[in-house]
Every structure is written in C-alpha cells, then in structure tokens.
Amino acid sequence: MARRAVVRLGVPALIVALLAIVALWRVGPPPQQHPDAVGTTGTGAENVLTVPIRTVAELMSNNSIGREASLEHIRIRERAGDRFYWIGSGDERPVFVVLDPDVKRTTGTTLRPGAYVTLIGLVRPVPKADEAMQQWHLPAATAGVIADSGTYLYVTEIRE
C-alpha cells in the first residue's frame, strides 16, 4: 500500500521536474547587454548617476551631493585661504572648493586667481556657518556665503 502511494506521488513529481529542466535549458541565460547601453532593464539610470559631473552648474544642484566631479579647464576666481578657493567664470555663480590636505597635483600646478586648472573630487553638502568657521577657520562673512550655497567641491586631485 505504501509503495503504491509513493508511485502515485513520485511519478508526477518526476515529470514536473523533468519539464522544468527542459524549459530552463531551452530558455537559456539572459542576453548580455553592453555596459553603456540604455535599455528597459534599469541599467541606464545607474550609468547616468555614476558619470562624473562636468560643469559648475551641475555642482550646485542638491542631487549632486556624493557624486564625483571632474571639471576641466575651470577658472580659479579667488583664494579664500590656504586650501580654500572660489571657482567659476564671471557669468556663473561661484562654487566653493576645499582642497584635501594630501591633494594630488601634477608638477608645476599653481592655484592663483585667473589660472585655469582641472579639478577632480567629490561634491559634499556645506556645513552650517558656525561649523564652517570652526572647521575651516574662515571669517564669519565667508562662512555665511558658503552656508547659503548648499554644496562645495572637495578636491582630491589637481591637474593643469
């Protein structure tokens, strides 16, 4: 009697398992998509967010926080301290820049007002004015202007 129950349940289970294996074999693995291709699989949004920011205008948006930036041929407007600068051209709002203490530089790179350089770094949220004054040893007026900007560029590499 027990043998008959095993056969009644086992045979259909075996048939279902064989059909599942045949179906998976016929379908095969999913097609490989080119990494730069944008499709309906959702990979396009990930690629867009990992592309470094290339313009000063993009730095000022709130969705730029945490993203990498690579600004080429950008003008240094003003020096605010040993590691602090304002960048941007005359017609756009300036962006505050903080240099990493161990910033990587190409030979002969000098940061002076009017110079054009390439800056690579991360976009970060600006601290409150009193925190900026304490953390970066800046005057109150400068810290207030920085706090109103929303973001700043933390530079890890400078190229000419």
User: How many whole angstroms separate alpha carbon 67 and alpha carbon 145?
Assistant: 22
Q: Is 32 inside any structural domain?
A: no
Position with higher pLDDT, 128 vs 109: 128
Q: Is 134 inside any structural domain?
A: yes
User: Residue 127 carries which DSSP code?
Assistant: P
For 23-61, what is each residue's pLDDT tens digit?
888 887 777 666 655 555 555 555 555 688 888 888 887
User: Can you give the residue range of the structural domain that contains 72?
Assistant: 52-159
Res. 71 pLDDT band, cuts 50 70 90? very high
Q: What is the mean predicted confidence (pLDDT) over 49-78?
A: 85
Q: What is the mean predicted confidence (pLDDT) over 57-84?
A: 88
Q: Is 140 inside any structural domain?
A: yes
Q: Is 7 inside any structural domain?
A: no
- What per-residue confidence (pLDDT) applies to 120? 93
Domains in the chain: how many in total?
Answer: 1
Residues whose CB falls within 8 Å of the CB of residue 135, separated by 6 or more in sequence, listed in order:
127
User: How many whole angstroms separate alpha carbon 47 and alpha carbon 31?
Assistant: 19
User: Residue 141 carries which DSSP code?
Assistant: H
Q: Is 6 inside any structural domain?
A: no
Count Cα atoms within 13 angstroms, Cβ side, for 112. 3
- What per-residue confidence (pLDDT) applies to 58? 84
Checking 107-113 for CB contacts under 8 A at 24+ apart, the result is 108/160, 109/158, 109/159, 109/160, 111/76, 111/79, 111/85, 111/158, 112/76, 112/79, 113/76, 113/77, 113/78, 113/79
Q: Is 20 inside any structural domain?
A: no
User: How many whole angstroms separate alpha carbon 6 and alpha carbon 90?
Assistant: 84
User: How many whole angstroms separate alpha carbon 139 and alpha carbon 144?
Assistant: 9
Q: Is 145 inside any structural domain?
A: yes
99, 83 contact by CB (below 8 A) = yes
CATH code (residue 132)? 2.40.50.140
Dihedral sign of CA atoms 147, 92, 124, 38 in order: positive
Q: Is 58 inside any structural domain?
A: yes
